[in-house]
Structure 1
Amino acid sequence: MKKEQVVNCQFSVWYPLFKKHTIKSLILPLPQNVIEYLLDDGTLVVSGSSENSYQRSQINNSDSEDEGDVQWSDDETTTVVTAPEFPEFNSKVQEAINSLDGCVFPKLNWSAPRDANWIALNSSLQCQSLSDIFLLFKSSDFITHDLTQPFHQCNDDSPDPVINYELVLRKWSELIPGGEFRCFVKENKLIGISQRDYTQYYQHISKQETSISSSILQFFKDTIQHQFPDEDFVLDVYRDSVGRVWLIDFNPFGEVTDSLLFTWEELMSENKLAASYTDDTTLQDGPAFRYTTSEVTVQPSPCLSYRIPRDFLDLSTGEDAYKLMDFLKLQKGQQEAEDSEEDTESAVNTP
């Protein structure tokens, strides 16, 4: 995966080329002070909301007085943390949201905050204001990745291209998860199609396997093939109830993109992928098509891991060796304390 491929998958690069085949969207430049706010790891106070301050109280053992936002009393300290405000940017965002019928799906140059929908009141990525967007963005690892490591896993040593970050607002559309598919393109050839929401079983996909595959392949040939700047890429599409296919997004052809029901080893090797094709002869000359075949194979959503504290996840996977060592030391200390208490009780109870 090359850095140029990542750059070409930015929304503002491909949207003008395929505007009539995708959802209506607006693109706003992201000011530097907004980027700094999104990357701030301090107290989460959502800018632009009616509740734009947070009060934190703690025991006060000092008789001194400080100035500023810290208010002192005899018993406790109350710190009022106020979110930064972006009136000009807020006005532009609200104007754009209103022009898109009042509800939008937000994202940055590449990613949407899909890993943070659990924090929203409606558990949805539907936003009606800048404060809704900020809540999702400041809670999303996907957004942080866009802002800090956009060229992660690229294998060329060239300097990182300069990125002009943008807020993308897409008109809210109720898409049925069973209609979303991810397509893998290599050397301008569609080699694989995967059910996007592979954690669920959708009966209509198995019944319409041939028509779904052929309609997506035809859409690719008519609309996408040789029109995108690269010859290796991944695209997400949506097939509606009448069989029309819509373009949703582009992604780099590499491990930074989720391969879903394929493996990147298969996708990189045409021979391995060809060997996995279905026995259905109607698909032999087309892309490999994979989907969840029954409720028995249903899996939990991979985004569920983002709903637990990061420390817990690091411990469970062993990714942070120091956290694991501290945890084992703590366990050992607790065990030694319990053993000591048992020995003491045994000594006291012994006649």
Structure 2
Amino acid sequence: MPSRTRILLVDDNPQDRRLVLREIRRGRPDAVVVEVFDRQGLDLTLSSQRFDLVITDYHLQWSDGLHVVKKVKRLDAHCPVIMFTGTGNEEVAVQAMKEGLDDYIIKNVRHLVRLRGAIEAALEHAAERRRAANLAKRLEGLLASLNVGAFRCTSEGQVVDFNAPLANMLSSSPSERVHPALEARLSSLAAQLTSDAPSSGDVNERELVFQSDNGEPRILRISLMRIDDEGSACIEGLVQDVTLQRRLEQERRQADVAAAQIAMLSPRESEVLLRVAAGEPNKVIARRLDIAEKTVEKHRANLMRKTSARSVADLVRLVMAAQHGEER
């Protein structure tokens, strides 16, 4: 069963409160309406109860509607507020809108009929804002659990917001500016994206390498999207640290190359290779394989040539790479 709509009505004129209450009942007969007509009642009510909507007059004997709007929004930014007044003006309306007012209605019989529609629209918009906020919160949690960084920057590449996972990747605090080296690269990418993809919604992916605060090179895969936010273009992006992934891919490639090089060796050359890589001198290898020391030298020369190795260290790395690939 859906919960009943809770509405706070702030007006020190009892006759006007009755008019507003009548309009509320016509649209939402089951609504719970709490009437407040003085400062003490407002403070006590807002400190102890939560509401789905607030309707307030502008001119109050003990305050004004702007104070009410600020107080409500400070407690619940998503709670819609409608100002229904006969004493305000355009300047008041503009100031109230800046404070988060959802609608402004002149208090007279001709405009009274607008109140019901304004109530429904304000409640619907508030529900949309709450859904969007909840979705953003869940998305933020998902990105954090997946260790995916997120950021927003201007079309010029100036980073204006980024999340904790990205800060961790950069070894910096979320309260500080993003890593200068990365911001410089983002600026370049943002400029390129703006010229390459003038329409919103296109996703561009890039990988870049930069030095983190501890001096280690990091490889980041960045997905950029150009969006229009209230008429101004900006860039939103997701960042994944693929350093380990790229390192493993490189190790796999090296293992494949090493295995292919060893496969070109004869069985005896392979035996000699393993013993050379283990640090055994030619004399020991000859004795263990029951062959002449000169034969060992010949096998060493052949396997060095076939593998393009220049030193014993190269042979050791070759064997280690091949063995690492077999372990996978």
TM range (shorter): under 0.3
Q: Which has the higher helix share?
A: 2
Q: Greater CA radius of gyration, 1 or 2?
A: 2
When normalised by structure 1's length, the TM-score is: 0.26
